[in-house]
Amino acid sequence: MIEDRTGKSYFTSVEFSSDGRRVLTGSLDNTARIYDAGSLRQLTIFPHKDAVRHAAFSPDGSLIVTACHDGVAYIWDAHTGAKIQTLAGHHAYVWGAAFSPDGRRVVTGSRDLSVRIWDVRTGIELAVLTGHQGRVEWVGYSPDGNYILSRSSLDNTARIWDARVPADWHSQITWEQAVEPDSLSDVQRTTLGIATTSHVLTGRALSMTDRSGHSASAQPSGDACSQNAAAYYDPDRTAPGLEQASVQADVALSACSTSSRADTSGRIAYQRGRALLAKGDPGAARMQWESALARGYRAARVDLALLLTDPTRKMLEPVRATSLLEAAWHSGVVMAAYDLGTLYEHGVPAGNSGSALQPDSVRASFWYEQGASRLEPHALAHAAQHAECQALVGVPAEADAGFFGSFKLYSQAVQQAQALSWPDSVWRSWRYRRSTLARVLAMEGKMQEVADTYARIVEGKP
C-alpha cells in the first residue's frame, strides 16, 4: 500500500507508467512522487512550491508532467528528478495535464477556463483553446493524437478539440486572425502581440493604388458632399464612401447643394444624383448622372447603368447599360466587371428601348473572371461562393480543394476591401465565411496551411 505518511494532505492523482513497473502520485503536500510498483519503494520525489493537482507519465516513461495550484505546469526527468520545462501561461490553478501519444506535446487545463497546448522540447505555448464556462478539470489526447478531450463539471460539458495546431505561436496567431469574424480592437491586438495599425483613414490622404488597378486618393477631410454621398467604389472619391442604401438623403442633398467648390469634374453632380436617388427621385438622379457623365466623371457610368437595369425604376435600357459598364471598366472603375457579370447572369427584361438582355452564362463568367483577375472584391467573393458551392456537391478530395480555394478568395476579397477602406457593411459577410472556412479546414488538419496562406495574402503576396 502506498500512503501519505506525513499526515499533511492526500493524493490528487495516481497512475502507472506504461510498462507497469512504476507508480506516479500527485499530492496536495506540494509533491509528486514515483514508487516502485513491486516493492512500493519511493524512487523519486519532485518538490513544488504549491499543491500538485495532477501528475502524468510520458508515453515512454522518461518524463512526467505536473499540474499545480501556482498556475504553472512542469516537465521533469522521471529518473533524475531534474526540472526540464516550466509551462507558464495560465492565469489560475492548473488542474489537469497529459502528454500526446508521441510525447512531443503536453495539454493542460485550468481554472482560468482554458485548454493549452505546449511543445515539450522548447516549452513554448502552441495554442490556447477557449470555450468552457467553468474550470477545466481533466484533459487528455485521443489515441491517434489528433484530438483533445476536456471536461468541466462546473459547466457540465466535455469538449473535443482539434489538436493539430501549427508548429509555432506566430502561425497560431495568424490562424486566429483568419478565423476572427470581426475586426480586433487595438486592446485585443495588443494582447495578442499584433501590430495595432489600422485601416481607418486618419488625418492625411490615403493613396489607394495597388495591383488590382484601383486608384484613388481618399481624404477624411473631403468636402461635406463627398462625406455624405460619395460611392465607396468610386476611384476618384475624396472621402471613404458609402453604400447607396446608407446615404441620408436630406443631409446629403443639403451638403451637395451648398458646396462652393466648382464642379468642373462632375463629381458634385454625381454625388448629388446619389442623394436624389436616396430621396426617391430617380428621374432627377438620372439628370445629374447624365451631367456628370458629360463632364467625363467615370463612376457615373456605373450608377446610371444600374438605374437603367432596375425594373422598379421603369427606365429600362439594358443595351445602353452594358455599354456604360464596359466603358466604366475600360476607364478604371473595376467594380463594373462584377456588375456586368451580374447582369449577364440574371438578364434584364425589355424596357422602353424595346430590347431585353438575355441571360448569358458565358459572358457572365467572362466578366466575373475579369473582375477577379484585377482583385475586385465583389468578384473575388463571388468566385469564393462558387468554389464553396461546388465543394459542397463534390467528392471529398474536390471538396477539400474547393473549400481551401474559397477560403483564399474570401480572404483576398476582405483584404482588398479593407485596403480600399470600403464600408464594413459591404464585406462583413465575406469575413464570416472566411472565418467559418478556416475552422472547417483546421478540422481537416490544415491549420498550418490556412495560417501560411492567410499570412501571404495579408502581406500582398500571390
**pLDDT for position 335:** 97
Nearest to 111, CA basis, from 150, 76, 74, 149: 150
**pLDDT for position 342:** 96
**pLDDT for position 178:** 79
**pLDDT for position 186:** 52
Helix axes 424-443, 377-393, angle to 10 degrees: 30
Residue 172 pLDDT greater than 70, yes or no: no
**pLDDT for position 218:** 40
User: How far from 35 is each of 12, 18, 50, 78, 97, CA to CA, in Å?
Assistant: 15, 14, 21, 11, 20
Residue 201 pLDDT greater than 50, yes or no: no
Q: Which domain holds residue 322?
A: 206-336
Is there a domain that residue 351 lies in? no
Query: What does the alpha-carbon distance between residue 227 and residue 75 come to, in Å, rounded to a whole number?
Result: 59
* 239 in the same domain as 330: yes
Which residue is it, cell 508515453? 59
Q: What residues form DSSP beta bridges with 229?
A: none
**Average pLDDT estimate for 368-380:** 96
Instruction: Provide the number of structural domains found in the chain.
Output: 3
Q: What CATH number is attached to the domain comprising 88?
A: 2.130.10.10
Is there a domain that residue 368 lies in? no
Contact 162, 146 (CB under 8 A): yes
* 54 in the same domain as 148: yes
* 186 in the same domain as 121: no
**Average pLDDT estimate for 48-57:** 95
Contact 120, 98 (CB under 8 A): no
**pLDDT for position 219:** 41
- The model scores a pTM over 0.95: no
Cα separation of the two ends of the chain: 65
* 111 in the same domain as 76: yes
Q: What CATH number is attached to the domain comprising 220?
A: 1.25.40
* 27 in the same domain as 156: yes
Per-residue pLDDT tens digits for 284-317: 999 999 999 999 999 999 999 999 999 888 889 9
Is there a domain that residue 454 lies in? yes
* 59 in the same domain as 98: yes
* 161 in the same domain as 86: yes
**pLDDT for position 439:** 78
| Residue 170 pLDDT level (bands cut at 50, 70, 90) | low
**pLDDT for position 127:** 80
Cell of 113: 477556463
Going by C-beta distance under 8 Å and a sequence separation of 6 or more, which residues neighbour residue 413? 377, 378, 380, 381, 384, 427, 430
Residue 100 pLDDT greater than 90, yes or no: yes
Residue 59 pLDDT greater than 80, yes or no: yes
**What phi and psi values does residue 149 have, to the nearest 5 degrees?**
-110, 135
Which residue is it, cell 501528475? 55
Classify 200 as helix, strand or coil. coil
| Residue 8 pLDDT level (bands cut at 50, 70, 90) | low
Residue 64 pLDDT greater than 60, yes or no: yes
DSSP 157-191: EEEEEE----SSHHHHHHHHHHH-SSPPPHHHHHH
* 129 in the same domain as 28: yes
Nearest to 72, CA basis, from 15, 8, 125: 125
Going by C-beta distance under 8 Å and a sequence separation of 6 or more, which residues neighbour residue 245? none
Q: Percent of the chain at pLDDT above 90?
A: 63
Round the average pLDDT of the chain to a whole number and report it: 85
Is there a domain that residue 141 lies in? yes
Contact 115, 136 (CB under 8 A): yes
CA atoms within 13 A of residue 230's CA, in its CB half-sphere? 26
* 157 in the same domain as 21: yes
**pLDDT for position 289:** 97
Is there a domain that residue 2 lies in? no
Per-residue pLDDT tens digits for 311-346: 888 889 999 999 999 999 999 999 999 999 999 999
Nearest to 68, CA basis, from 92, 100, 84: 92
Contact 364, 328 (CB under 8 A): no
Residue 369 pLDDT greater than 90, yes or no: yes
**pLDDT for position 10:** 82
**Average pLDDT estimate for 84-95:** 93
**Average pLDDT estimate for 59-74:** 96
Maximum average pLDDT range among 138-147, 210-219, 348-357: 138-147
**What phi and psi values does residue 97 have, to the nearest 5 degrees?**
-155, 150
Q: Percent of the chain at pLDDT above 70?
A: 82
Of 233 and 401, the one with more pLDDT = 233
* 215 in the same domain as 191: no
| Residue 194 pLDDT level (bands cut at 50, 70, 90) | very low
Per-residue pLDDT tens digits for 251-275: 999 999 876 556 788 999 999 999 9
Is there a domain that residue 365 lies in? no
Maximum average pLDDT range among 227-241, 249-263, 394-408: 227-241
Is there a domain that residue 407 lies in? yes
Residue 174 pLDDT greater than 90, yes or no: no
Is there a domain that residue 6 lies in? no
**pLDDT for position 1:** 57
Instruction: Please tell me what DSSP assigns to residue 202.
Output: -
* 315 in the same domain as 272: yes
Per-residue pLDDT tens digits for 410-449: 999 999 999 999 999 999 999 999 988 887 787 666 777 8
